[in-house]
Structure 1
Amino acid sequence: MPPSGDQSPPTTAVPEPIHGDVLEAVLSHLPLIQLVPKSLVSKSFHKAVTSTLSKPSKPQPWLILHTQTSRPPYVTSTSAYDPPSRRWIHIHQPPIAYVAPLRSSQSNLLYMISPSKFSFSFDPLHLTWHHVAPPSVWRTDPIVAVVGRHVIVAGGACDFEHDPLAVEIYDVSLRAWTKPEPMPEAFTGAASMTWHSVASDDRRMFVLEKNNGVLHTFDPVTNTWCGPYDLRHDSLVFQSCIGFCYNRLILIGLLGLPDDVIGVKVFEVSCESFTVREITEMPLDLVEKLKGDELQVSSVEVRMAGNVVYIYKPVLPEEVIVCEFVNGGECNWWGVSNVVASDRGIAERFVFTCSNVGIDELRRATRVDRRFRFALGI
């Protein structure tokens, strides 16, 4: 029988929409790539996403791994480690036009150099590539760095007819090469990237000889080399490398011997006096992870951006160690299993970069080329 009187059927309660601080708290737990579509839901979501990303803890620098096959057509694939979610992200992007083996000498620089072309990119997600004429001196393993609008290519000459200490600078604004004075004589016999670690700020390139801890600086505006500066603060350090983190020059030192690494220390270097101050030391269990099955670490590489330092072995880096600076001085340490390198093996080239990637960079990537896609991996 139909209901009598003014009885009406029961209604389903509509949940109250989430706004303000509660919405921000929910969004703060999402990985960066999931915030991009959320920002398009409504004005309130866009405002909440923007507010979430403006907080000091977000976004954090991505460690981006570029793998290049060793055979034609030299296909390059890209993955990134996202610190907030502690997961790898698969990045589907347009292929990189092959010029030569892919390389990186500092945190956000990718480049390829051949006798006919010099290609480089230094934006966070490497959306823009510059393809220019090569330096006049042919080099196999040069020291390369970006300082402002200048791309510096130093040393690494392979022809006895050329000065092995030659320096050339490409001005991105003027689209022209200049050839200043060569490197100091102290670089004779070791003027290549193999023996050095490179970092740069807005004014200078910093070049550290890994094995003896000696540092030189170069100003591309005044074409001035300064140094040497001895950064051997601890007698146990046998190999070291540098980078910039939180606008501070950071030095990572391996302690002991290549077949008996007993520790890894982190130092801060003054860019004015070049004095060295110890900050922290890697926990011993992570030192063992860094060693891996080979139980030997002859050298490490570092990539830094924002408040995060990534440390790894340059050959088959199956484990990456992360040092995150928090609360002005404290450090959080953890290890990251490099599932990409583990799956690919030694047949491919592994190149790391590190950049602060925010929602604006992700939006631009998908806007510039619709082939860009991001997906959470393992």
Structure 2
Amino acid sequence: MVENTQQINYFNYITTDLTQTILSHLPLKSLIRCSTVCKQFRSITNNPSFHPTAQTTPWFFLYGLNNISCKKNQSFAYDPLLNEWIHVPKTCFPDTLLAESSISGDKGLFFNTAGVNFSLSPILKPLWFIGGLVDMEDNLGVEIYDGDLNSWEICPPLPADFRSGNSSQSLCSGLFKERFYVFGIYSGFVSSFDLEKRVWSDVQTLRPPGVVMSCLISCGRELMLAGLCNDVRGHSFNLWRVDELTMEFSVVAIMPSDLLNCLFDSDGDDQFASLKCVGYGNFIFVFNEEHRRNYPACVCEIRSDSGECRWRRVPDLPEPVNRFHKVIGFCSTIPIHRILGSEVV
């Protein structure tokens, strides 16, 4: 009996549609590898109609700046599906950022606002576009940039309540249901800008009892508040669901105490000053920007089907990790076609 040593390709026996469905459930890192396996896989992953589930899952980015030498700057990206960090090439980010820089990310783009400058860059592909921005520290002015038309529109500045004791560094923002929300991290002031009518809403106060600092985050179909509380039972990190019409809130999850404790290594009153929080979609990331703990982080995934909140610790950053004078964290989805179209894999 002659042994058949010919390798069987079982994908030849299934339809292209089924192959596409199978590939669509893979993490991005696995998709990149699959795209190099054969022409069929490459054709499927490069097709504009291919929309894998993974590209709707936001990655968590940490960008570390060293004021002494830009050669020590480092960038990391965390994929929640694989539960892994990767090193991001330095060329994907600017060498220097001003102290007043405000950073965010969305759909594979890295945004940097600093004084009179604005820039955006496709993550994982070194390309920059420069424009102008009203000085945020003077009157907290607002402009909207239309990427399709490559033009700016001057909008009414933030309501006067935000101009007293606030700066762009003490504010967070998010887009939810065609409204642009701005929130005071410490003041609890909140206002939304109607993108259709081009007007700001009245300023309201969103401040749960005992809250020390908090961030307003657009999570899928819900508006969420994430923040640190201090009461007679001690510190806790809570998540609240917010009604966008009434600004009423209700607790949906509390970070397990062992996870909160792993973010800090002291009992001082200022130990929580380095706590930062960012989120996108169904994920909220909480991290410590202090070097001595190697920038530990936790993540909460909010299940779309049940609303269940699952907390877990994010793995340590991959060594080596340099010492940074400033750490910037943000979330962004990463389109597969942007990665496959770049040299970075």
Please report the TM-score for the alignment, with normalisation by the length of structure 2: 0.78
Q: Partner residue of 2:310?
A: 332
**Deviations 1:310-365, CA, capped at 9 Å, x for gaps:** 112344471111001123311221112442698222x442212211224223113x
**3-state SS of paired residue (1:290):** coil
Q: Partner residue of 1:130?
A: 129
Cα 1:25–1:221 shift into 2, 3 Å: closer
Supply the AA of the counterpart residue of 1:34: S
Out of 8, 25, 29, the position equivalent to 1:16 is 8
Q: Partner residue of 2:182?
A: 207
Q: Partner residue of 1:230?
A: 205
- Give the Cα–Cα distance (whole angstroms) in 1 for the partners of residues 57 and 92 of structure 2: 26
Q: Partner residue of 2:118?
A: 119
- Give the Cα–Cα distance (whole angstroms) in 2 for the partners of residues 74 and 134 of structure 1: 28
Partners of 1:110 and 1:353 within 8 A in 2 = no
Moved more, 23-32 or 58-67: 23-32
Cα 1:107–1:188 shift into 2, 3 Å: same
Q: Partner residue of 1:4?
A: none
Q: Partner residue of 1:363?
A: 340
Cα 1:294–1:54 shift into 2, 3 Å: farther
Percent identity between the aligned chains? 20
Cα 1:74–1:203 shift into 2, 3 Å: farther
Gaps of 5+ in 2: none
Partners of 1:239 and 1:299 within 8 A in 2 = no
Out of 214, 219, 223, the position equivalent to 1:245 is 219
State yes or no: 1:344 paired with 2:322.
Answer: yes
Deviation at 1:80, TM superposition (A): 0.5
For residues 1-378 of structure 1, the aligned pairs below 5 Å read 11=3, 13-19=5-11, 31-42=27-38, 45=41, 56=53, 60-71=57-68, 73=70, 76-92=73-89, 94=91, 96-98=93-95, 100-101=97-98, 103-108=101-106, 109-114=110-115, 118-121=117-120, 123=122, 125=124, 128-135=127-134, 139=135, 142=136, 156-157=137-138, 165-172=139-146, 175-177=150-152, 179-201=154-176, 203-219=178-194, 222-232=197-207, 234-256=208-230, 262-293=235-266, 296-298=271-273, 300-316=275-291, 318-326=295-303, 327-339=305-317, 343-345=321-323, 347-364=324-341, 366=342, 370=343, 373-374=344-345
**Deviations 1:133-177, CA, capped at 9 Å, x for gaps:** 453xxx4xx3xxxxxxxxxxxxx12xxxxxxx3514153355555
Deviation at 1:285, TM superposition (A): 0.9
Larger gyration radius, structure 1 or structure 2: 1
Partners of 2:111 and 2:121 within 8 A in 1 = yes
Deviation at 1:62, TM superposition (A): 0.9
Cα 1:328–1:127 shift into 2, 3 Å: farther
Superposed CA RMSD in Å reads 3.7
Deviation at 1:280, TM superposition (A): 1.1
**3-state SS of paired residue (1:79):** strand
Please report the TM-score for the alignment, with normalisation by the length of structure 1: 0.72
Moved more, 41-50 or 28-37: 41-50
Cα 1:18–1:26 shift into 2, 3 Å: farther
- Give the Cα–Cα distance (whole angstroms) in 1 for the partners of residues 333 and 104 of structure 2: 14
**Deviations 1:16-55, CA, capped at 9 Å, x for gaps:** 324359989997896522321312423654588799x857
**Deviations 1:243-292, CA, capped at 9 Å, x for gaps:** 111132110021117xx952111112122232212211111111111234
Cα 1:127–1:205 shift into 2, 3 Å: farther
Partners of 1:255 and 1:262 within 8 A in 2 = yes
Gaps of 5+ in 1: 1-7, 143-155, 158-164
Cα 1:262–1:134 shift into 2, 3 Å: closer
Cα 1:324–1:92 shift into 2, 3 Å: same
Partners of 1:120 and 1:130 within 8 A in 2 = yes
